[in-house]
Amino acid sequence: MSFIIAVYVPEGIVMASDSRQAVTVEGKAAQGKTFKVETVNSDAITKTFLLEHQQIGIANFGQDLLGGVPMASHIKGFIEEELSPKDDVTTVPKKLVDYFRKSFPDADAGFHIGGYKKEGRVSVPHIYSCHISQNAVERRNIQKDGSLIYGAAWSGQGDILTSIINAIVIKDEQGNDKVIRSPAPIIWKAMALQDAIDFAIYAIRTTIDTMRFQARPKNVGGPIDVLVLTPDEAKWIQSKELHGSS
């Protein structure tokens, strides 16, 4: 599992992810009993990518090993094999899902895709969420009337953040929705870009730190990579680098 988040505010888009790869190992013990163990395989997996030519961010969540190969390698293959200079943030989501469905139609994995497209003289932000097995592509930052909205979208192991940020709703005896806890609102459209960066890091760090104390698989962890996209540039705020041992 993973945790990725896209925060989209008027100044720009922040995309962030953790770096943990968890795998489930199955086998037989010496006595012949079968076992299944979920374990951490790596804390150095890349899940957020920058398509430099198109100035587009892609982040992946869910199943990471497809055909025994990490998702990062497949995404690099997609960039080399499928993209052309004419592609932009509106064409990449569907092409990405179609690319994976050719070989892995049942993969329980998805993506966030973010970037800007020039419409007339205005750079318009686009945020998409996609899923391979569901064959789904959805734009997240637009209302039915076509107007832009601001906020945050997260995927993967999102239950911890959801319980903090979103209202808790249950069904009453008549089957109607009843709000039992309503957190104070976040005014996304008034949020500064630096605050959006801080929120993205907070969301992942809080997930990691909370999991530490819970009796559950620790499937979110490692360094937090943060990419920022604006109409003028795309840059890494923090990104893990290869290094030798000390």
Q: Does domain 3-238 have CATH number 3.60.20.10?
A: yes
DSSP 3-state assignment of 156?
strand
- What is the rounded radius of gyration, in angstroms, for the C-alpha atoms of the chain? 19
Residue 186 near residue 195 (C-beta atoms within 8 A): no
CB 153 within 8 A of CB 190: no
User: Phi first, then psi: what are they for 112, rounded to 5°?
Assistant: -110, 140
Structure tokens at 39: 């374990």
Strand order, beta sheet including 56-62 = 48-51, 56-62, 109-119, 122-131, 136-139
Is residue 225 a contact partner of residue 240, using CB atoms and an 8 Å limit? yes
For residues 181-200, average pLDDT: 94
Whole-structure pTM value: 0.91
Indicate the pLDDT class of residue 53, thresholds 50, 70 and 90. confident
Q: Is the pLDDT of residue 172 over 80?
A: no
Phi first, then psi, for residue 93 (nearest 5°) are -55, -50
Task: Locate the domains of the chain by residue range.
Answer: 3-238
pLDDT at 21: 93
- Tokens coding 43: 């804390």
Q: Is the pLDDT of residue 131 over 80?
A: yes
Q: Give the whole-angstrom CA distance, residue 79 versus residue 97.
A: 13
pLDDT band at 245 (very low <50, low <70, confident <90, very high): confident
**Summary mean pLDDT of the chain:** 93
